[in-house]
Amino acid sequence: MVMDEATLSASLKREAEAFEQRIEAHFRGQPGPSGRLEEAMRYSLLAGGKRLRPILCLWTCDAAMRGRGNGDAPERSEAVWKAALALEMLHTYSLIHDDLPAMDDDDLRRGQPSCHRRFDEATAILAGDALQTEAFDLLSQIDDPRLSRECTRRLARASGRWGMVAGQQWDIDTTGGALDLTLSYEQIFKLIHRLKTGALIGVSMALGAACAGLEPSEVDRVEEGGRLLGEVFQIVDDLLDETSSTEELGKSAGKDREQGKLTAPRVLGREKSRGRAHALQEEAMAILEPVLSHSEELEGLCRRLIDRER
């Protein structure tokens, strides 16, 4: 039975608020030596947003714990909270850098001035750098050495030259050039969607599964399902860029086509893109079924990725 939309929205709101309290507590408990740097980091971290990646991590952990017979509402460990915060820091660093003039050159993020517009380019670069390194510092603080190493390894691989950063480079390399109609969609989503977006969403679920104590092969399976959901998320993102307003998105709309980005709608058209997203989602849900069967919230969130409006 799938959770109804109102109940899911209320659960997401509560979870986001609890998570943001964790962000505030983290900065209160560990103030840094540069007030301006810290202000820029907090500005971007606390600018709102869906909190999709940390919530996927937390809810995957909850579901996996229930699946292992740990009760209806297992108590969350400090390890999974650290993993969730690390994921949001890593994601926020990528958004700060993505908005820079050298990248997507966007003045808006989540409906307010992007970090380099609110501060300056140098401070934005440094704030992103600091968030990235702090993410790995958090994972190093996980008490269980094996789990700490596992989370660090998975996040590094998903975010670096084997994942998100490589996807961003492919996105840059294919922007503005003539569209090669012989390029297959398989190549596009593997090089851009799967790396730029899928890798970080996949590892978000994987870290939750690892923190719940699942075996490495089970964690790998969860990560693969999450990667497919990440591809769904990116296809929908591409579609929304073409069909929504700047006010609805909270960031500049229509920039993908304007900049000549190689997106799903540009290659496949809107209807085929939607069909591809639905097929990928069903494939992902089948892979994730052993975990999703223990959480209506998690299943509802995974299904919502294709129906979102921003």
Cβ burial of 285 (10 Å; 0-12, 13-18, 19+) is: middle
User: Does residue 39 lie in a domain region?
Assistant: yes
Which of 285, 218, 291 shows the shortest CA–CA distance to 65?
291
Q: What is the pLDDT of residues 86-112, one digit of tens each?
A: 999 999 999 999 999 999 899 999 889
Cβ burial of 260 (10 Å; 0-12, 13-18, 19+) is: middle
Place of tokens 């997401």: 12
Please state the rounded mean pLDDT for residues 10-29.
Answer: 94
230 close to 198: Cβ distance less than 8 angstroms: yes
User: Does residue 288 lie in a domain region?
Assistant: yes
Q: What is the pLDDT of residues 118-144, one digit of tens each?
A: 999 999 999 999 999 999 999 999 999
Query: Is residue 1 predicted with pLDDT exceeding 60?
Result: no
* 273 membership: H or E segment, kind and range: helix 270-292
pTM of the predicted model as reported, rounded to 2 decimal places? 0.93
User: Does residue 287 lie in a domain region?
Assistant: yes
Task: Please state, rounded to an integer, the average pLDDT across all residues of the chain.
Answer: 91
- Bridge partners, 109 (sequence order): 112
The whole-number pLDDT of residue 174 equals: 84
The whole-number pLDDT of residue 310 equals: 66
Q: Tell me what percent of the residues of the chain surpass a pLDDT of 70.
A: 92
User: Does residue 64 lie in a domain region?
Assistant: yes
Q: What is the pLDDT of residues 175-233, one digit of tens each?
A: 877 666 667 767 776 788 999 999 999 999 999 999 999 999 999 999 999 999 999 99
Point out the least confidently predicted range of 13-27, 119-133, 152-166, 259-273. 259-273
Q: What is the pLDDT of residues 136-172, one digit of tens each?
A: 999 999 999 999 999 999 999 999 999 999 999 988 8
Q: Tell me what percent of the residues of the chain surpass a pLDDT of 90.
A: 71
CA distances in angstroms from 34 to 25, 40, 92, 127, 224, listed in the order given: 18, 10, 19, 11, 39
User: Does residue 193 lie in a domain region?
Assistant: yes
CATH number at residue 164: 1.10.600.10
User: Does residue 300 lie in a domain region?
Assistant: yes
Q: How confident is the model at residue 243 (pLDDT cuts 50, 70, 90)?
A: confident
Supply the range of the domain harboring residue 88.
5-304
Geometric angle at alpha carbon 111, from 4 and 176, rounded to 5°:
105
User: Does residue 310 lie in a domain region?
Assistant: no
Pairing of β 112-113 and β 108-109: antiparallel
Helix (H/G/I), strand (E/B), else coil: 244: coil
- Bridge partners, 113 (sequence order): 108
Domain count, the chain: 1
User: Does residue 309 lie in a domain region?
Assistant: no
